[in-house]
A and B are shown apart, each in its own frame.
Chain A
Amino acid sequence: MAEAPFGLLAELTHRCPLQCGYCSNPVELVRRNAELDTESWRRVFDQARSLGALQVHLSGGEPLLRPDLPELVAHANSLGCYVNLVTSGVGLSRERLRELASRGVDHVQLSLQDATKAGNDRIAGIKAFDRKVEAAAYIREEGLPLTVNTVLHRQNLDNIAGIIAMAEEMGAERLELANTQYYGWALRNRAVLLPTREQLAVADPIVAAAQERLRGRMEIVYVIADYHEAHPKPCMYGWGARQLTVAPDGDVLPCPAATVISSLQIENVRDSSLHDIWHNSPSFNAFRGYEWMKDPCRSCPRKEIDFGGCRCQAFQLTGDAANTDPVCSLSPDRSTVDLILAKEMAPSEVPAMAMRKMS
């Protein structure tokens, strides 16, 4: 039997006031009338805890758009789970935060799109910057630990020092600087988002110096720009290994992007239990362990480090989710990635960003 998961990513809704063009939600967003109701989410949390999950990440879209959020926080807390609220900060008033804290939120992750108001609001597509600064102050007042999350790309990578300074000013204990991963919305906007080698060469030492300078005060987690790397990321630390995602409509996913693998048969909490889906479903077992691997992964010692990289990326760029992640220098499809870099990193004509919205 597979080991129990540690975490549940609960995407309570896909509705969001922000329109970031690299959103990790799928391009086909779930509509409000298809969202799970309060009772169903409570049941999902019960099942996740029985299965072994100890962390509940309440995310979206924007989870604050769910009026039942305080009730869901209280329920996850009552099960003994660590409750992490992942928010844009838009709609997080002082009163709202106080209530959520009193119901058992343990930690808040606040997104920040760029170092400045102008940059932030341009990327978010709405005036969100001032709300975020206020939200950070309320979180600090309430004494909750804060992680600031920034997705990095060609449009904001040059402002990395300012982003780090902004997170410090916001009182963050952690800062996640994650280079864009190209699925769904980000894949659509790749030619606007792909950073150049020069940008990364400037940013990397700035991040390293800040990690050193802020040691013990603010931890900086840096997620690599994998198209530019020789080896893939250890995606999800293995398929169906540590975490599961439940989408707003109850679809259960081995990773938040898994809907891009169109050949994958996705299960739903309305039809089966999380226990059954985690342990017995074809989707969760498809790429578990090492048996499914082909060469070069199968005979590669790095398979225990990176698990063959990302299945979604393999599917999107090679058409077969069981192939080696094509960003790997050992992949026979690496040239596909190099071609994309050559074409899209410095396009002669940069297309406009397609902003995230319900179709």
Chain B
Amino acid sequence: MTSVVALDAVPRIRRGVKCTYDQIREAHVVLFPEGVLVLNETAASVVSLCDGVRSVGDIALALGDVYAGVQPEDIAELVARLVERRVVDVDG
């Protein structure tokens, strides 16, 4: 079950997780002890904003400038999936 992440929760990349760009796959990837996540463009943008300062709501707001129709709930759901995969932690 994916747990719910609140809009004021502050996600940050977990210790030991590396975000990088893979020239071979031409995609942003997240590297962590269990494996590799190949990110699509939206997920890569969200991950790059999980800085331990911005809240889920802030991230949605920031991405709203770039992508039309970004819903905070979609960002919260994506962050929840990243929490589930142990890529990010949330405070608050």
Contacts and interface: CB of A to CB of B under 8 A. Distances in A.
Q: Do A and B make up one complex?
A: yes
Interface of A: 4, 6-7, 49-52, 54-55, 80-82, 84, 106-107, 109, 143-145, 147, 173-174, 219, 221
Interface stretch (B22-30, B43-51, B57-65): B22-30
A311 to B, nearest CB: 22
Interface in B1-41: 15-16, 18, 20, 22, 24-25, 29, 31-36
A221 B86 CA distance: 13
A81 B86 CA distance: 19
Contacts, number: 46
Nearest to B35: A6
Contact of A107 (B24, B33, B36): B33
Interface of B: 15-16, 18, 20, 22, 24-25, 29, 31-36, 86
A145 B29 contact: no
Contacts of B18: 82, 106
A78 to B, nearest CB: 12
B16 A107 contact: yes
14 contacts: A4-B25, A7-B35, A54-B20, A54-B22, A55-B31, A55-B36, A80-B22, A82-B31, A107-B33, A109-B33, A143-B15, A144-B16, A145-B16, A147-B33
Given A54-B36, A106-B18, A143-B15, 18 more contacts: A7-B35, A49-B24, A50-B24, A52-B22, A52-B25, A54-B22, A54-B29, A55-B35, A81-B31, A82-B31, A106-B16, A106-B31, A107-B16, A109-B33, A147-B33, A173-B16, A174-B33, A174-B34
B37 to A, nearest CB: 10
A109 B18 CA distance: 17
A174 B36 CA distance: 16
B15 A6 contact: no
A275 to B, nearest CB: 11
A107 B32 CA distance: 8
A4 B34 CA distance: 17
Contacts of A49: 24
Contacts of B35: 6-7, 55
A145 B15 contact: yes
